[in-house]
């Protein structure tokens, strides 16, 4: 039985649905877990090109609220998307066990809206905003998964087969084009379910088609929810605007939606309600193997990445190298000797810096506007250190560095670089300190909370230059 997809080893099945299966995988090259979704490819080269284009678009997204795509593996009949693995649970599973607090509901809705805003900046429509595609991490964060469904034209019947009836919009029923407003309609449906515990529309295909084709919608469960004291009328009003039958009458972008959700979150922060992480923790997915067999198409295991690369190199060798065996042997010795000499003379110095993420403090309101994550900041610091100090080896919170040289020689003691990140409602304070003594090569920068990633990159570059001046 095949248990590999290219260079990735499959561990267990996570979920299965009408559009494919999702597996927990392991990348031995980078020593990390990954999630691998295997889905059948549509027929026709034009549709396949569309799917691949969507996959490349999703891979270009860099937002902590969107599951990152690392790799795409294509076979004649299937497509495997290799993604970041998010331990925790999904919203569908969570809603089956607990009624979310208002604070948890608003955090979820706000983070989904921010993810949609990031996708809309590159013209990407999700097309399937449903509870099972909203992942809740073990830290209580939100990740939106399974982008690109809109790349494949679907009828209501196809939506039903994919388990996406809860994300249907009037545009799907009427066969009209979908856009960001379609995703906002689905967000309204998701909000309605989190608030009331009930779906806004029937969950059978024929009844859903009739309901969604109406010119206006009655939402009795939302009306009942709104009648209870302590439930903000502004939130019910927002849900009704999101669930307008005509796209022109819905919010036209995410800006106003996010602003209203942030305002409601600030108001609800005064309430003593359990947060999302506390409510979700008892229902996190067990991190253990399953007895369910791994049913992987054999075509994925036929040629691994390493074997394929070896075949290509051998083919090139046969085409370009001399025919004589003696000549080949002599040329091989020359190449090996030359490479060894180059590695010896150009090996980098083994200076070592331990990067310590000393302090992270981000206010709830800043989470919804920040355009970089703590991991992004560390990645930028690592990049600038490697460019500023060629040959440096990074340890600690920074990404590990690969160095060449005498691996059995002891490394020198690591120098310390402390990084602190504190974000309030409007501003972020970033601090770097080299060494342990107060004031020793210490710099700090104040940035607006929604500063562009390019601005963060420029500021971090200047800070690294200040902390490690030319000697």
State the CB neighbour count (10 A cutoff) for residue 217.
Answer: 15
Closest to 383 in 3D by CA, of 455, 461, 451, 444: 461
Q: Which two tokens stand for residue 327?
A: 């000549």
DSSP 344: H
Q: Is 375 a catalytic residue?
A: no
Give me the catalytic one of 128, 146, 183, 376: 128
Q: How far apart are the first and last CA of the chain?
A: 59
Are the beta carbons of 279 and 101 closer than 8 angstroms? yes
Sheet holding 134-137, edge to edge: 88-90, 134-137, 142-144
Helix crossing, 180-196 with 102-120: angle to 10°? 170
DSSP 413: P
The Cβ-side half-sphere exposure at 291, using a 13 Å CA radius, reads 0
Strands (E) across 41-77 are located at 69-74
For tokens 């939106």, what's the residue? 144
Strand partners, 359: 420
DSSP H helical ranges for 70-123? 91-95, 102-120
By CB atoms closer than 10 A (0-12, 13-18, 19+), residue 288 is: exposed
Strand partners, 72: 81
Residue 44, sorted as left (phi over 0), alpha (psi -120 to 50) or beta, turns out to be left
Per-residue b or e along 418-429, where b marks 16 or more CB atoms closer than 10 Å to that residue's CB: bbbbebeeeebe
Nearest 5 degrees, angle CA 169-CA 170-CA 174?
130
Are the beta carbons of 148 and 119 closer than 8 angstroms? no
CA distances from residue 236 to 219, 225, 267, 279 in whole angstroms, order as listed: 10, 8, 15, 23
Element (H, E) at 26: strand 20-27
Residue 343 to residue 325: CA distance in whole angstroms: 27
Q: Which two tokens stand for residue 198?
A: 């009930």
Query: Going by C-beta distance under 8 Å and a sequence separation of 6 or more, which residues neighbour residue 191?
Result: 105, 109, 235, 238, 239, 242
**Residues classed as catalytic:** 128
């Amino acid at each position: 039985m095949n248990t590999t997809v290219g260079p990735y080893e499959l561990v267990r099945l996570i979920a299965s649905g009408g559009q494919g299966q999702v597996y927990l995988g392991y990348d031995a090259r980078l020593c990390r877990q990954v999630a691998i979704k295997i889905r059948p490819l549509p027929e026709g080269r034009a549709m396949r090109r569309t799917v691949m284009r969507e996959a490349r678009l999703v891979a270009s997204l860099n937002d902590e609220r969107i599951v990152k795509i690392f790799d795409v593996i294509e076979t004649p009949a299937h497509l495997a998307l290799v993604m970041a693995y998010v331990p925790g649970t999904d919203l569908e599973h969570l809603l089956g066990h607990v009624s979310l607090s208002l604070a948890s509901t608003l955090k979820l809705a706000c983070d989904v809206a921010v993810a949609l805003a990031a996708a809309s900046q590159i013209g990407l429509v999700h097309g399937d905003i449903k509870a099972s595609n909203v992942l809740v991490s073990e830290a209580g964060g939100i990740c939106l998964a399974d982008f690109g469904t809109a790349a494949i034209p679907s009828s209501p019947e196809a939506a039903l087969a994919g388990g996406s009836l809860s994300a249907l919009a009037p545009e799907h029923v009427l066969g009209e084009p979908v856009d960001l407003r379609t995703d906002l309609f689905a967000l309204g449906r998701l909000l309605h379910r989190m608030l009331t515990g009930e779906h806004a529309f029937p969950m059978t295909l024929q009844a859903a088609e009739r309901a969604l084709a109406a010119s206006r919608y009655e939402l009795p469960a939302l009306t009942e929810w709104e009648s209870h004291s302590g439930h903000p009328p502004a939130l019910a009003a927002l849900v009704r605007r999101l669930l307008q039958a005509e796209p022109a009458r819905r919010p036209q972008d995410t800006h106003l939606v996010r602003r209203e959700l942030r305002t409601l979150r600030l108001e609800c922060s005064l309430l003593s309600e359990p947060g999302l992480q506390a409510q979700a923790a008892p229902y996190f997915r067990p991190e253990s193997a399953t007895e369910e067999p791994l049913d992987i198409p054999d075509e994925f295991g036929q040629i691994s990445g390493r074997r394929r690369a070896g075949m290509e190199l051998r083919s090139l060798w046969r085409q370009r190298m001399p025919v004589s065996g003696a000549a080949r042997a002599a040329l091989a010795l020359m190449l090996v000797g030359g490479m060894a000499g180059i590695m010896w003379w150009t090996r980098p110095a083994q200076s070592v810096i331990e990067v310590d993420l000393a302090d992270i403090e981000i206010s709830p309101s800043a989470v919804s506007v920040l355009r970089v994550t703590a991991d992004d900041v560390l990645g930028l610091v690592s990049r600038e250190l490697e460019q500023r100090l060629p040959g440096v080896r990074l340890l600690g919170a920074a990404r590990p560095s690969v160095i060449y040289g005498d691996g059995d020689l002891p490394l020198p003691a690591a120098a310390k670089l402390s990084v602190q990140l504190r974000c309030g409602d409007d501003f972020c304070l970033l601090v770097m300190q080299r060494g342990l003594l107060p004031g020793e090569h210490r710099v700090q920068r104040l940035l607006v909370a929604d500063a562009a990633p390019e601005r963060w990159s420029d500021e971090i570059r200047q800070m690294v230059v200040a902390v490690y001046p030319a000697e």
